[in-house]
Amino acid sequence: MSDPSLMLRRQLKYLFFILAVCFLGAGFTMFKTEFQGLILGTVFSMMNLWLLVRRMKAFGQAAENGKAFRSVGSAARIANAVIAVAIAYRFSDQFNMVAVIVGLMMIYPVILIDSFIQLKRSSAKVR
């Protein structure tokens, strides 16, 4: 498994590409609220990824030192998602709620695809 910082950097590159496509879609199509919802959800998804990697590092250090570790920060990530949904609910004329939720879930396919790419690269080096 690679270093969490390298993994974060790679996955953030993918998410910034997705954000660029969303900004273009918001600027040049008639689906402004949908793309703005995707942008909002993806930004909060990026913050959730950063929180997850930060907690993974702390968990790894605690495991190395033999100390107990309380949690991996699920409550903070859930609260982050609730804030994104609350913003979309409050400004429903600007953000599509379904698009915000899709944006919040954007990190999971990115993690999965990145894992497959890294697995393929590592298996190609072995051959």
| Token pair recorded at residue 106 | 């954007």
26's enclosing H/E stretch is helix 4-28
Band of pLDDT at residue 125, cut at 50, 70 and 90? confident
Cα–Cα distances (Å) from 73 to 34, 51, 52, 98, 111, in that order, read 29, 7, 7, 25, 18
Mean pLDDT within 41-55: 92
Query: Mean per-residue pLDDT for 96-122?
Result: 93
**Structure confidence at residue 127 (pLDDT):** 63
Q: What is the pLDDT of residue 67?
A: 82
Which region among 5-19, 36-50, 67-81, 95-109 has the lowest average model confidence (pLDDT)?
67-81
